[in-house]
Amino acid sequence: MNLAFARLVWQFHFIRARYWEDRALNNN
């Protein structure tokens, strides 16, 4: 498995999680 690709996927997942968390807080 490519380490760079795994790191990119991890960063994308982390950013997406924070994005949805911010949306949830703004909606409430």
> For 1-28, how does the pLDDT look when each residue is reduced to its tens digit (9 = 90+)?
699 999 999 999 999 999 988 888 887 6
Q: Where are the domains of the chain?
A: 1-27
Amino acid 9: pLDDT: 95
Maximum Cα interatomic distance, the chain, rounded to a whole number of Å: 40
What b/e sequence results for 6-28 when a residue is b if at least 16 CB atoms lie within 10 Å of its CB, and e otherwise? eeeeeeeeeeeeeeeeeeeeeee
For residue 15, the 8-state DSSP code is H
Amino acid 25: pLDDT: 84
